[in-house]
Amino acid sequence: MASVSLRKLEKSYGALRIVKGIDLEIQDGEFVVFVGPSGCGKSTTLRMIAGLETISDGEIRIGERAVNKLAPRERDIAMVFQDYALYPHKTVRENMGFSLKVRGVSMKDAESRITEAAEMLGIGHLLDRRPGQLSGGQRQRVAMGRAIVRRPQVFLFDEPLSNLDAKLRGQVRTEIKRLHQQIGTTIIYVTHDQVEAMTLADRIVILRGGDIEQVGTPDEVYNHPQSVFVGGFVGSPAMNFAKAKVQDGALAFANGDRIPLSALAAGKQRVEDGREVIVGIRPEHFVTLADPVMTLTAKVQVVEPLGSDTLVHFSIGGETLTARMPPEMRPEVGADLHLGLDPTKVHLFDAATERVIA
């Protein structure tokens, strides 16, 4: 196990700056998840840590060692990719043991590591099969097993579950969490999946255009996004945004609805008159209380029953918003709906800088 530190890490391809000076300290044993839009540099960063990509500037340390100049195999890291690339003609046992053989681990030691890892992943009965005789989820577990047997200092995962169907994703996700609890190795994990990020991470790193936008625990980034970008990126369905102006001590929306500042959480109550703001509201913070503190006048556009709850898409003053409502809620399309709102849960951002107003 080891800590990982990225110091002013840079990557350029010619004149194109892809990773723009990332600073990040990852603790020994920590589970860190990278999220961010496609092309923001997640895989590039992971590949630089693994040594599969040169770095343009800055430093990478694993434990006490600066590893900039070390070859991938000297870094004591194991990487699991989305396309797990197993050897098709080798058995599961041979696939898992191959890297140990190359590294000169004794047969006996290798065998016991393989058995232990296979046990942990529930693939002990599949050791004599070839990849072609396995399901997608089983193959993914073999790929993880292959990484585990190496007992590296750090695991790097690049969207390891994205080839799996929803049910398997859920299962393997839980296995990865259990695995981390058992062996406690430092993990850096890239995903597009909100649930994976929220459930697996000790800390989530939100990347945007090659820079870190925010780092925090799942709770911090979900409940205290520092920018419109983070608010909109973390959470599904996404946070709603509506423009408003502060007028006479209230947030005034384009449709005439108002929320008095005094109803907001402390800290947001002293925004000066005339300021243009972006109001952020999570879909679950609309309520259907008989006598809500606040109501917004909404025109229902689309209703999506999900079984566990109902998503209601509606417009207020030309902007489309989404509310997560109880499953029995089935408002009619086109109807005017009075939506309750918990004003203490509202987020406020400056309209110009898109940074939080706290």
Ligand X SMILES: Nc1ncnc2c1ncn2[C@@H]1O[C@H](COP(=O)(O)OP(=O)(O)OP(=O)(O)O)[C@@H](O)[C@H]1O
Instruction: Provide the binding-site residues for Mg ion, judged by CB under 5 A.
Output: 43
Q: Does 54 bind ligand X (CB under 6 A)?
A: no
Q: Under rule CB under 6 A, how many of the chain's residues touch ligand X?
A: 11
Q: Beta-strand (E) ranges in 97-253?
A: 154-158, 186-190, 203-208, 211-216, 240-247, 250-253
Judged by CB under 6 A, which stretch of 33-41, 140-148, 320-328, 342-350 contacts ligand X? 33-41
Q: Does 13 bind ligand X (CB under 6 A)?
A: yes
Q: Does 218 bind ligand X (CB under 6 A)?
A: no
- Asked whether 50 and 95 are in contact (CB, 8 A), the reply is no
Please give the Cα distance from 340 to 338 (Å, whole number): 6
The residues facing 227 across adjacent strands are: 355
Binding string, 308-337, against ligand X, x = CB under 6 A?
------------------------------
Q: Does 43 bind ligand X (CB under 6 A)?
A: yes
- Asked whether 172 and 180 are in contact (CB, 8 A), the reply is no
Q: Does 191 bind ligand X (CB under 6 A)?
A: no
41 binds, among ligand X, Mg ion, none (CB under 5 to 8 A by kind): ligand X
Angle separating helix axes 107-121 and 166-183, nearest 10 degrees: 130
Q: In the complex with ligand X, which residue's Cβ is closer, 90 or 192?
A: 192
> 219 in helix, strand or coil?
helix
308 binds, among ligand X, Mg ion, none (CB under 5 to 8 A by kind): none
For the record, the structure tokens of 76 come out as 């004591």
Helix, strand, coil in percent for the chain, rounding step 5 = 30, 35, 35
For the record, the structure tokens of 307 come out as 């079984």
Q: In the complex with Mg ion, which residue's Cβ is closer, 28 or 211?
A: 211
Closest CB to Mg ion: residue number: 43
Q: In the complex with Mg ion, which residue's Cβ is closer, 79 or 300?
A: 79
140 binds, among Mg ion, ligand X, none (CB under 5 to 8 A by kind): none
39 binds, among Mg ion, ligand X, none (CB under 5 to 8 A by kind): ligand X
Distances (CA, A) of 9 to 15, 20, 53, 61, 177: 16, 7, 12, 11, 28
Q: In the complex with Mg ion, which residue's Cβ is closer, 25 or 83?
A: 83
Q: Is the dihedral of CA 298, 299, 301, 302 positive or negative?
A: positive
For the record, the structure tokens of 35 come out as 């999220």
Q: Does 18 bind ligand X (CB under 6 A)?
A: yes
Contact pick of 42, 169, 268, 285 for ligand X (by CB under 6 A): 42
Q: Does 44 bind ligand X (CB under 6 A)?
A: yes
Contact pick of 6, 22, 35, 40 for ligand X (by CB under 6 A): 40
Q: Does 15 bind ligand X (CB under 6 A)?
A: no
> 265 in helix, strand or coil?
coil
Give contact residues for ligand X (rule: CB under 6 A).
13, 16, 18, 36, 38-44
